[in-house]
Amino acid sequence: MTRTITAELFASLDLVVEAPETWHFPWVGQEMLAEVTREQGEASALLLGRRTYEVFAGSWPDRGDDVPLARQLNAMPKIVVSSTLGSPTWHNSEVVGFDDLAALKESGEGRVTVAGSIRLVESLIAGGLLDELRILTHPVVLGEGRRLFDTYAGPRVDLELVESRTLERGVQLTVHRPSTHHE
């Protein structure tokens, strides 16, 4: 038995993935909301880095149960990867170290999903622990901000494109999985 770890990131056309809460809302439509809600709803737990956890814990608990994604996120188990976070404040949260993730992956069934958490996603890819990377690319060029893989120092990882479709408002969803063949 092993768990699947997937990650979902919002990106601009110039691959800025930092602070999407400050730029991505004009492109959020019903189709994207349904996609993100479905993806989170199929997960058995939410995996977050410390910074993303702090942003989420500061906003999602205050949203009502009438918001389906808020209801899902608030109820599901949350696993925070951090060496600096003390006691988590968001209901149903636990703190683990990165070295605990391989055991976590082997300790159950289902899917764990990562929302945001750029460094964590890069570490999971470098460690061979990420099974799927979902990127929602928004039709905007930001010009500044942390870009996906701009500080990546891990080994080469070949990815296979397994899905690509355009959502309403021009957002492109691509789904990538580690490839077993190298060119």
pLDDT digits (tens, 9 = 90+) for 104-141: 888 878 889 998 889 999 999 999 999 999 999 999 99
Please state, for a pLDDT cut of 70, what percent of the chain lies above it: 97
Instruction: For residue 181, give the DSSP letter.
Output: -
pLDDT at 1: 63
DSSP for residue 100: G
Pick from 106, 166, 138: nearest CA to 25: 138
| CA dist., res. 127 & res. 172, Å (int) | 27
Q: How many CA atoms lie within 13 A of 16 on its CB side?
A: 17
* Residue scoring higher pLDDT (91 or 140): 140
CA dihedral (17, 23, 25, 26) positive or negative: negative
Q: Three-class SS of residue 2?
A: coil
State the Rg of the chain over Cα. Answer: 16
Mean pLDDT in residue range 50-63: 89
Residue with tokens 């019903």: 30
> Cβ(48)–Cβ(114) under 8 Å?
yes
Map out the domains of the chain as residue ranges: 4-178
Q: In the structure encoding, which two tokens stand for residue 159, read together? A: 């990815």
Closest CA to 71 of 81, 60, 82, 80: 60
> Is the predicted pLDDT of residue 183 greater than 60, yes or no?
no
Q: What is the CATH number of domain 4-178?
A: 3.40.430.10
Q: Which residues pair with 178 in a beta bridge?
A: 159
